[in-house]
Amino acid sequence: MSFSNGKIHPANGASAEGEKPFKIFVGYDPKEDIAYQVCRHSILKRSSIPVEIIPIKQSDLRKSGLYWRERGQFESTEFSFSRFLTPCLANYQGWAMFVDCDFLYLADIKELRDLIQDKYAIMCVQHDYTPKETTKMDGAVQTVYPRKNWSSMVLYNCGHPKNSVLTPDTVNSQTGAFLHRFQWLEDDEIGSVPFVWNFLEGHNRVVENDATTKPKAIHYTRGGPWFDAWKHCEFADLWLNEMEEYLKESKKEITK
């Protein structure tokens, strides 16, 4: 099974001859197109390895017969469940990443890829996070559950036997608890990634003179500057600067 409408982008300033591109599936919601574009731009701009960025678009998945579940009242985005098709979309081969569109990358994705350990089925930032807000983004209900935000950025060992359970049938029928809490896995099959790769705006903190707390990827999980209500959130300036850069570059592409 093959599903890809992403483009392969060569490494920036590095020879990557013969190197397979690292597949990055990004959750896409039509309401947050600009968030997707800026997230994609931030990865490509800093990557020293070839990457293939593929938006997970629910409309395409439905046309392909891979996704058919009805949207639940607590699904704040179109990719709340379709994200778990990542191993399937990668043909159950190699490692691939899923990430929400509300991320801004500040470091080379190679650094994250180099943390991969084949003994794990998945790897992610293992947050202990209980949001204080009752709503997020543009008024969506803020839900609270164990392992919240673990599934927002996941490195999948797509060929791991345990991940073969993530078929379209499973993703379309299983509960949110089963999927978002990774209940198809044992705890020791879930590897840990430093929190700076899923730095939760409004929750995680930078400690002065401690480089290990400096974000490598900011996650605007409450809502980002593309929503009116969150225009002045922490790190809004970084996202807005990246957006301006993306818009300038996209205009140049149009005029070529």
Structure confidence at residue 64 (pLDDT):
97
Question: What mean pLDDT do residues 11-32 have?
Answer: 81
Q: Which two tokens stand for residue 17?
A: 């001859």
Contact 76, 137 (CB under 8 A): yes
Residue 36 CA to residue 178 CA, distance in Å, equals: 26
Structure confidence at residue 6 (pLDDT):
61
- List, for residues 90-144, the tens digit of each pLDDT value: 999 999 999 999 999 999 999 999 999 999 999 999 988 666 654 445 645 546 6
Question: What mean pLDDT do residues 188-206 have?
Answer: 96
- List, for residues 73-89, the tens digit of each pLDDT value: 778 899 999 999 999 99
Structure confidence at residue 14 (pLDDT):
47
225 alpha-carbon distance from chain centroid: 18
Structure confidence at residue 1 (pLDDT):
45
**For residue 133, which of 181, 203, 237, 79 has the smallest C-alpha distance?**
203
Structure confidence at residue 135 (pLDDT):
47
Structure confidence at residue 229 (pLDDT):
92
Has residue 200 got a pLDDT over 80?
yes
CA angle 46, 42, 190 (to 5 degrees): 85
Buried b (16+ CB within 10 A) or exposed e, 236-256: beebeebbeebeeeeeeeeee
- List, for residues 217-247, the tens digit of each pLDDT value: 999 999 999 999 999 999 999 999 999 999 9
Question: What mean pLDDT do residues 51-57 have?
Answer: 98
Burial class of residue 9 (count of CB atoms within 10 Å of its CB; 0-12, 13-18, 19+)? middle
Rg of the chain, C-alpha, whole Å: 17
Residue 193: strand, helix, or coil: coil
Residue 42 CB partners (closer than 8 Å, separation 6+)? 103, 104, 105, 106, 242
Structure confidence at residue 208 (pLDDT):
94
- List, for residues 143-185, the tens digit of each pLDDT value: 665 787 899 999 999 999 999 999 999 999 999 999 999 999 9
Task: Give alpha helix (H) positions in 16-85.
Answer: 33-46, 58-63
Has residue 256 got a pLDDT over 60?
no
Residue 44 CA to residue 28 CA, distance in Å, equals: 17
